[in-house]
Structure 1
Amino acid sequence: MKKKSSFSARGKRADIGDLVIYRILPNRYAEAVGPFVFLDHIAPTIQTKVNKEGTGAHPHRGIATLSYILNGEDEHFDSAGNYAMVHSGGVQWMNAGNGIIHDETLNYDSRTDSKLTHAFQFWINLPSAIKAGKPAYLAIEGNEVPYKELPDGKGWIKVIAGAFEELRSSIPSYSEQFIYHIHLEPGAGFTANFADRSEVAAFLPLMPASINDEKFDAGEFIEFDRNAGSIALLNGNQEAADVILFGGEPYQEPIVAEGPFVMNSMLEIADAYRDFHCGKYGKIDYEKQKLKA
């Protein structure tokens, strides 16, 4: 049985500097899909100059951030001393744990002639026991992301988080979670099956597509019912199309989000702000961390 769509929505503009950004999640219909409480689509942009300012140093607590860089290169610094740059196809993952400060800068990929940047950032809500733990960090280059071609030249699938068949991401899972990037050639289809109560959403970044026999436009976010069933994608365009499928098991604890913090109560939000203003999250030493790399 095919899963039914519950609703569809479009993102709201949330630009940073020259980056055109659409806030996909949360939206007026949903505050979370599985463990995912936030999704920004950094729209494709041709950069004419190098971005030197990045997002600016800012705190997080209670979540893991996941930046998936389709095109470009992403430089990461944080107050736990982590530094890395990943390039087109790569992933930056950071568990903020009980508090961290980080900064990211997205630029075009210096290893290619392309000036294109295109990316996603997800926030993964952590179980309360993990929120109190130490921060952690992982940088994954594009050639390390699990990937396989679909049969008969129909396209390919990348597993950014979670698992699909024999593919398994190296990003830690604290609850059931998945992010699939599915690339379909013209006329091609793809079907995935999901268990009962699994929360699933799709996003169409650049091209329209049919999902379970419904047509959706580029830029649409679609959430589905929680019954067991399949999601069938079909690319009816004359050119290739991409679909992001993501979700997981329902988050079982209260969700209280404010600014860069996602906790389980307002008291914990107040504690997060207090600890940040008291300097407990540390500082980023940009020069030292870059020299160590």
Structure 2
Amino acid sequence: MSNIQLIIEERPSIVGNFMVGRLLPFREKRTVGPFAFIDHMGPHKLSDHENFDVPPHPHIGLSTLTYLFEGSIMHRDSLGSEVEIKPGEVNWMTSGNGIVHSERTPEYLRHSEKSLHGLQIWVALPKHLEQMEPNFHHASDHEIPHWQQDGVSFKLIAGEAFGKKSPVPVYSPLYFIEIKSFEKKTISIGHELFGESALYILEGSIESNGNVYEPKHILVATDAKLCEFTMQANTSVYIFGGEAFPEERFIFWNFVASNHELIEDAKRRWIEQTFPKIDGETEFVPLPEPNPLKPKQ
């Protein structure tokens, strides 16, 4: 990134019974293109009596993207989806007007030692689709475009770039790209990027304008078209971004919306438990306190 506008460092946060590193939203940068939320999970080693458990909870106004480097998560949702997420695969759940899902260690792993490492991402929906019907898509690793170029490995996890298109059904112009290099390489891909753009360093380090940047940081670009940087050996980075929406996005808990009324309605529905249910699940995550509701107009 030859034109770094902002550097964001991971901050610790608790999700369910699990410690994660929160990257977005950040007080000085709430979104990057349509990307509204990014958590880095792990890497964590879990014993035979420790498991990842996030009971049923709701979403509106966004698509969730789960991408694992290690481990496994069982996804269940109120559409009836029940899918095990494994490394290299993409879970893409679009909440629209309301969906409920749970995320847990699969049953066959709950009494053995295991690891978990990955990214959980929210992509906001454009205003005209915020109230669309929910849907779910799972993409296997072999479906996602992979290629090698000058000794560097590329993977287009979501969106469009490099003349390729991911099978993940996105709802606005965006990209989420994995780049891995086992040798020192200079990368210049600004001609492939558009809108707002940022780079997340998972492992290794990159150099830009004489500065070295280490893992667990997001580098936000001033101009996506000037994206050039040097990857040191054994480095993995993720570049994400796209066209920003003209309207601000508000976030309360698991709800994303272009106006507060949609969030207030979702809060009421969750308190009253009128969101759709997940078959076989009776637990749920309560609305965070304090949770005052604005009076209905």
TM band (smaller chain): 0.7 to 0.9
Q: 1:122 to 1:106 in 2, by over 3 A?
A: farther
Q: Superposed, which structure 2 residues align to 1:50-129 within 5 Å? A: 52=51, 54-106=53-105, 115-129=114-128
Question: Counterpart of 1:291?
Answer: none
**C-alpha contact 1:60 1:100 (8 A) present in aligned 2:** yes
Shift of 1:64: 0.6
Q: Superposed, which structure 2 residues align to 1:10-21 within 5 Å? A: 10-16=9-15, 19-21=18-20
The percent identity for this pair of structures is 26
- Segments of structure 2 that go 5 or more residues without pairing to the other structure are 282-297
Match of 1:256 among 230, 245, 250: 250
For 2:107 and 2:80, how far apart are their aligned partners in 1?
A: 24
Alignment deviations for residues 139-166 of structure 1 (CA, whole Å, 9 cap, x no partner) = 1222222111122xx2311111112224
Shift of 1:215: 1.8
Q: 1:107 to 1:50 in 2, by over 3 A?
A: farther
**C-alpha contact 1:73 1:109 (8 A) present in aligned 2:** no
Shift of 1:236: 2.5
Question: Counterpart of 2:218?
Answer: 221
Q: 1:128 to 1:245 in 2, by over 3 A?
A: same
Stretch of structure 1 that moved more, 211-220 or 258-267: 211-220
Shift of 1:205: 1.7
Shift of 1:7: 1.3
| Equivalent residue pairs, number | 279
Q: 1:277 to 1:18 in 2, by over 3 A?
A: closer
**C-alpha contact 2:25 2:36 (8 A) present in aligned 1:** yes
**C-alpha contact 2:2 2:208 (8 A) present in aligned 1:** no
Q: 1:158 to 1:51 in 2, by over 3 A?
A: farther
Question: Counterpart of 1:192?
Answer: 189
Give the ranges of 4+ consecutive aligned residues of structure 1 lying more than 4 Å apart after TM superposition: 50-53, 106-110, 194-197
Q: 1:57 to 1:145 in 2, by over 3 A?
A: same
Question: Counterpart of 2:170?
Answer: 173
Stretch of structure 1 that moved more, 62-71 or 250-259: 250-259
Shift of 1:138: 0.7
**C-alpha contact 2:10 2:21 (8 A) present in aligned 1:** yes
Question: Counterpart of 1:290?
Answer: none
Could you tell me the TM-score, scaled by structure 1's length? 0.87
Shift of 1:212: 5.5
For 1:54 and 1:9, how far apart are their aligned partners in 2?
A: 27
Q: 1:144 to 1:51 in 2, by over 3 A?
A: farther
Could you tell me the TM-score, scaled by structure 2's length? 0.86
* Letter of the 2:251 counterpart: A
1:135 matches 2:134: yes
Instruction: Specify the SS of the correspondent of 1:269.
Output: helix
Shift of 1:229: 2.0
Alignment deviations for residues 202-253 of structure 1 (CA, whole Å, 9 cap, x no partner) = 1112222114553211111110113x6231232234xx11001000011112
For 2:210 and 2:196, how far apart are their aligned partners in 1?
A: 19
Q: 1:182 to 1:196 in 2, by over 3 A?
A: closer
Alignment deviations for residues 24-58 of structure 1 (CA, whole Å, 9 cap, x no partner) = 00112200000001000112122323655521110
Instruction: Specify the SS of the correspondent of 2:226.
Output: strand
Question: Counterpart of 2:231?
Answer: 235
Q: 1:88 to 1:107 in 2, by over 3 A?
A: farther
* Letter of the 2:5 counterpart: S
Q: 1:3 to 1:114 in 2, by over 3 A?
A: farther
- Supply the RMSD in Å over aligned alpha carbons: 2.5
**C-alpha contact 1:66 1:123 (8 A) present in aligned 2:** yes
* Letter of the 1:183 counterpart: K
Q: 1:263 to 1:231 in 2, by over 3 A?
A: same
Question: Counterpart of 2:200?
Answer: 203
